[in-house]
């Protein structure tokens, strides 16, 4: 891994994440237009073209889901159910509430919170089949009170999805599952087809094509975020075991050749040891080619003068996952401003958050933690404001409304505030 001294290299050079998306936008635009026009026929064609699958039906039946559940190793079912319990327990605290202000003049102001009615869940499939994503996207939506959860996930050449994906859908309370993925799946959720219902919001990760499709349909439907490749940044001091730090870095590098693994440390000795250890451990991984490409392209080690400087560097990078691998992480947590999810101490690996701890693993990437947040229950509700004034309360402010409106050149606005008390303003 390349080693840099913080402050000796321009910060913008350290912020670069290599993400190649040339040609994606045009291809996605054509796919979306095709699905919007041809519906199910387009989805079946894309399943044949992209997945190598000749589908007889797009929707997975409840019986198929139940059979898949019965085939999954009972030990894995127990882990999935335990993870679901932890996710529910954590997210139950996120439910937002409305409010009402009853003012002395008789006016009433308030906000009501209602669940988004129908949500689409994008779940990767095939070689990147993650039942954890099913739990992390569906459970917060179910807690929010969404009426219907519609999941899409691409099939394999046999036309089927992994049993663990379908088992997780059953555990999480997904209502309908479809054998479709990619940009075509996003388009189906956004526009609706003969089989796939149109949803109000689309959430969940995916390839560059899924991310671009979500970008293009935003406005027709809501989306959670534009998710990029996975990222981890580890802040570690000299008291760490290089093998442990390297293992944590590689836990994200194995996701994708475009993933980003970064170590920030105040110890040059640890930097050198971790760099050597990463190289040693790469040879032990089944996904060595992917992880090695990730490390060579986006991997970095940054050496700072102290741990406070390490957190400043982390804030500048705004990583998806941030590990604070020190004995007393809480003072450093106080310094963190930009991170999707923070893992505290030497016994809290990022993988714990991916699967079992409870906080969500659908997180902002590519520096978006500067302005956005993890997926949560709040993402599945909407707020509606309401206002009620009495005659007396409106009379007291109608002149101010008219003055404000006329200052903006909006005479009709002014008259609507005054006409209830003076008919001559419209005569």
| Active-site annotation, residues | 320-321
Pick the closest to residue 381 from 144, 201, 91, 140 (CA basis): 144
Distance of CA 208 to the CA centre of its chain: 14
Task: Give the Cα separation of 71 and 349 in Å (integer).
Answer: 30
3-class secondary structure, 423:
helix
Q: Are 233 and 317 in contact (CB under 8 A)?
A: yes
Backbone dihedral region for residue 275 (phi beyond 0: left; psi -120 to 50: alpha; all else: beta): alpha
3-class secondary structure, 255:
coil
Q: CA triplet 224, 46, 169: central angle to 5 degrees?
A: 45
Pick the closest to residue 196 from 59, 61, 63 (CA basis): 59
Q: Are 243 and 281 in contact (CB under 8 A)?
A: yes
Pick the closest to residue 298 from 228, 241, 237, 351 (CA basis): 228
For residue 412, what are the CA distances in angstroms to 247, 398, 409? Answer: 66, 13, 9
Task: Give the Cα separation of 152 and 347 in Å (integer).
Answer: 35
């Amino acid at each position: 891994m390349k080693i840099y001294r913080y402050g000796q290299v321009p910060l913008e050079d350290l912020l670069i994440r290599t993400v190649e998306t040339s040609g994606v936008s045009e291809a996605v635009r054509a796919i979306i237009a095709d699905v919007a026009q041809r519906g199910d026929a387009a989805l079946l064609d894309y399943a044949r073209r992209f997945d190598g699958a000749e589908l007889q039906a797009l929707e997975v039946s409840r019986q198929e889901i139940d059979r898949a559940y019965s085939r999954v190793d009972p030990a894995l079912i127990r882990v999935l159910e335990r993870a679901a319990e932890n996710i529910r327990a954590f997210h139950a605290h996120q439910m937002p509430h409305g409010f009402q202000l009853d003012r002395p003049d008789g006016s009433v102001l308030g906000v009501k919170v209602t669940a988004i009615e129908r949500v689409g869940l994008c779940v990767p499939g095939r070689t990147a089949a993650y039942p954890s994503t099913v739990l992390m996207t569906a459970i917060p939506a179910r807690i929010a009170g969404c009426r219907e959860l519609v999941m899409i996930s691409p099939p394999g050449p046999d036309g089927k999805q992994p049993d663990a994906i379908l088992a997780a859908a059953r555990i999480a309370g997904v209502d309908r599952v479809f054998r479709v993925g990619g940009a075509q799946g996003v388009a189906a959720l956004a526009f609706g087809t003969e089989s796939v219902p149109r949803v109000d919001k689309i959430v969940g990760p995916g390839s560059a094509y899924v991310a671009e499709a979500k970008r293009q349909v935003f406005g027709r439907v809501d989306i959670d975020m534009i998710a990029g490749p996975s990222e981890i940044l580890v802040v570690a001091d000299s008291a760490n075991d290089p093998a442990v730090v390297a293992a944590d870095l590689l836990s994200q590098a194995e996701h994708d050749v475009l993933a980003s693994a970064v170590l920030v440390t105040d110890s040059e000795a640890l930097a050198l040891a971790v760099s050597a250890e990463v190289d040693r451990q790469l040879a032990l991984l089944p996904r060595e080619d992917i992880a090695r490409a990730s490390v060579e392209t986006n991997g970095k080690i940054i050496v700072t003068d102290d741990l406070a400087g390490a957190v400043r560097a982390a804030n500048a990078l705004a990583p998806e996952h941030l590990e604070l691998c020190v004995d007393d992480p809480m003072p450093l947590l106080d310094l963190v401003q930009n991170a999707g999810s923070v893992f505290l101490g030497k016994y809290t690996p990022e993988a714990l958050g991916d699967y079992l701890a409870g906080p969500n693993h659908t997180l902002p990437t590519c520096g978006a933690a500067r302005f956005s947040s993890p997926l949560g229950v709040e993402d599945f509700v909407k707020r509606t404001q309401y206002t009620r004034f009495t005659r007396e309360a409106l009379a007291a402010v109608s002149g101010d409304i008219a003055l404000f409106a006329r200052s903006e050149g909006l005479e009709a606005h002014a008259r609507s505030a005054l006409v209830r008390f003076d008919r001559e303003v419209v005569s």
